[in-house]
Amino acid sequence: MKTKPLEHLRHSCSSHHEEQRMGHFLTAFQPIVDCQENVIVGYEALVRGQNDEDADTIIASVKKDSRYAFDQMCRARAIENASRLGLDLLLSINFLPNAILHPEQCLQATLEVAERFKFPTENIIFEFTEVEAIEDITGMLEIIRTYQNLGFKTAIDDFGSGYSGLGLLADLQTDIVKLDMSLIRHIHQDPVRQCILKHSLNMMNELSIDVIAEGIESKEEMLWLKHAGIRFMQGFYFAEPEINRLPLVDSQVFVCE
């Protein structure tokens, strides 16, 4: 039963060796917290290697013509593992924007996995990771709208870093924006970052886009962001990612002293 959701994806791999190598990854989960209600609202599924390699390292080793199959394997395994762990909150899954050729076909495979493991599609967020520039903005917009029309939530990851900028937000208009940790680091003592973030928040509020701040590593960062109006956060301060587990958050991290 465990391998069935992945069977139809294996034919897309360029070779049996490539298929085996791509399948050698694990799924880690990191909580997303609501700092107004002091509760966990969901988890992000993160790809990790057998030797704790990060997602970028693993993706870089996947051949371009195998990325669609790899992307599908990642999302299928994330849904399967989340279901087996009893997750009944939001599940955020990364996808590679240039790996999706036919959004309807791609989503059909995802819907089949969600149905197989009885995981509600309305709880799934698809966030696209910008390890490379989007090659086809029009095609990406079609993907985003297809996902949204089927009830999935969408997010821009690493906003403020790399290729994830204002132009991309204007073009794609996702439901959620995840602020990159480069904007968050030491923000409680950095007036320039504070100014940038405050104006970004005003813009997101006007566009009715939810914001998640990533990479929180200290209480000082969390408190400043909370006072600035950011409700949803994620980072090592709350919990580190854990392989095949849903880590909890110590209630003491929310205590304001």
Check which CATH number belongs to the domain holding 190 and give it: 3.20.20.450
Q: Which candidate, 118, 126, 117, places its Cα nearest to that of 3?
A: 117
Q: What is the pLDDT of residues 37-89, one digit of tens each?
A: 999 999 999 999 888 888 888 888 888 788 888 888 999 999 999 999 999 99
Write out the chain's pLDDT in tens, 257 residues: 333 334 444 444 444 444 445 557 899 999 999 999 999 999 999 999 888 888 888 888 888 788 888 888 999 999 999 999 999 999 999 987 776 666 677 788 889 999 999 999 999 999 986 556 677 788 888 888 888 988 899 999 988 776 557 888 888 889 999 999 999 999 999 999 999 999 999 999 999 999 999 999 999 999 999 999 999 999 999 999 999 999 999 988 887 75
* 85 torsion bin: left (phi>0), alpha (psi -120 to 50), beta (else): alpha
Which are the contacts of 37, defined by CB distance < 8 A and separation ≥ 6? none
Helix/strand/coil (H/E/C) assignment for every residue in 205-238: HHCCCEEEECCCCCHHHHHHHHHHCCCEECCCCC
pLDDT at 208: 95
Phi/psi for 14 (5° steps) reads -75, -20
pLDDT at 22: 53
Q: What predicted TM-score, i.e. pTM, was given to this entire model?
A: 0.87
Task: Write down the residue that tokens 């069935």 correspond to.
Answer: 4
Report the alpha-carbon distance of residue 59 to residue 77 in Å, rounded. 16
Report the alpha-carbon distance of residue 75 to residue 95 in Å, rounded. 8
pLDDT at 17: 47
User: What DSSP letter does each residue of 29-83 carry, written as one string?
Assistant: EEEEEETTTTEEEEEEEEEEETT---HHHHHHTS-GGGHHHHHHHHHHHHHHHHH
What is the sign of the dihedral through the CA atoms of 88, 89, 90 and 95? negative
Q: How many domains does the chain have?
A: 1
For 242, other C-beta atoms within 10 Å of its C-beta total: 16
In degrees to the nearest 10, what's the CA dihedral of 121, 57, 249, 211? -60
Domain interval for residue 40? 4-254
